[in-house]
Amino acid sequence: MLRILVASSKGGCGKTTIATNLAAYFALDGKNTVLVDTDRQASSQHWCEKRVGFGAPPVLPINGTKPGWQERIPSDAQRVVIDAPAGIRASELPELLVDTQALLIPVLPSRIDLEASEVFLRGVAALAKVKSGKVAVGVVANRLKPWTTAAQQAIDEIKKLPFPLVGQLRDTQGYVLMTGLGKSIFDYHSEVIRSHQEDWEKMIRWLKKVS
């Protein structure tokens, strides 16, 4: 069982978008997939419920805000994606990192977000499970406008952070629309969508190495 935590200290960074799209990818790949929603807004849970409505490979939602959620993960689950609460602090991560192999941290390409992320990442680097190598940590640059100089400068800054850059996702309203429908970037096959799917290939390869 591969467990992946998606977490950030900064709200609005696309954490739930990454968690839901990853869960959809695994489900479409034939894996028994669970999505644990520890955010009180329950956006990931609602996404799972909407997904049932159009017959896509299901993702089992678990309410991670209630005690004992770990015990509710089925024994035959092959992939577990955990959507962390918004604005979580590094000191609050250990409980969510139990039996977790990978931590993905989305970062937006703005100076404010980068500075906030640097503080969070320093705290993550100090965690015992991270220092011991039991949890692999990867940074995901999210909502990029890759044709701009600002985006390229942001990527250069992100590459200086203490963890590897494992994904670069372009900015598109498509993610917002698909999440609202219980769908993902991997549920479509048009040429335009396929170009966005390619953005995920590096991250997925990295996760496969972790597993």
Q: What is the pLDDT of residues 27-41, one digit of tens each?
A: 999 999 999 999 888
Instruction: Note the pLDDT of residue 56.
Output: 83
Q: The dihedral of CA 70, 120, 210, 128: what is its sign?
A: negative
Is 151:118 a contact under the CB 8 Å cutoff?
A: no
Given pLDDT bands bounded at 50, 70 and 90, which one contains residue 10?
Answer: confident
Lookup: tokens for 120: 């969070």
**What is the percent of the chain with per-residue pLDDT over 70, rounded to a whole number?**
100
Instruction: Note the pLDDT of residue 147.
Output: 75
**Residue range 4-15: mean pLDDT, rounded:** 89
- What is the distance between the alpha carbons of residues 179 and 157, in angstroms, rounded to a whole number? 29
Amino acid at 64: G
CATH architecture of 2-210: 3-Layer(aba) Sandwich (3.40)
Instruction: Note the pLDDT of residue 96.
Output: 94
CB atoms within 10 A of CB 2: 17
Is 44:16 a contact under the CB 8 Å cutoff?
A: yes
Express each pLDDT in 167-181 by its tens digit.
999 888 878 888 888
Express each pLDDT in 71-96 by its tens digit.
999 999 999 999 999 889 999 999 99
Amino acid at 123: G
Express each pLDDT in 99-155 by its tens digit.
999 999 999 888 888 888 888 999 999 999 999 999 999 999 998 887 788 778 888
**What is the percent of the chain with per-residue pLDDT over 90, rounded to a whole number?**
61
**Hey, where are the domains in the chain?**
2-210
Q: The dihedral of CA 162, 165, 166, 169: what is its sign?
A: positive
* SS3 assignment, position 27: helix
Instruction: Note the pLDDT of residue 193.
Output: 78
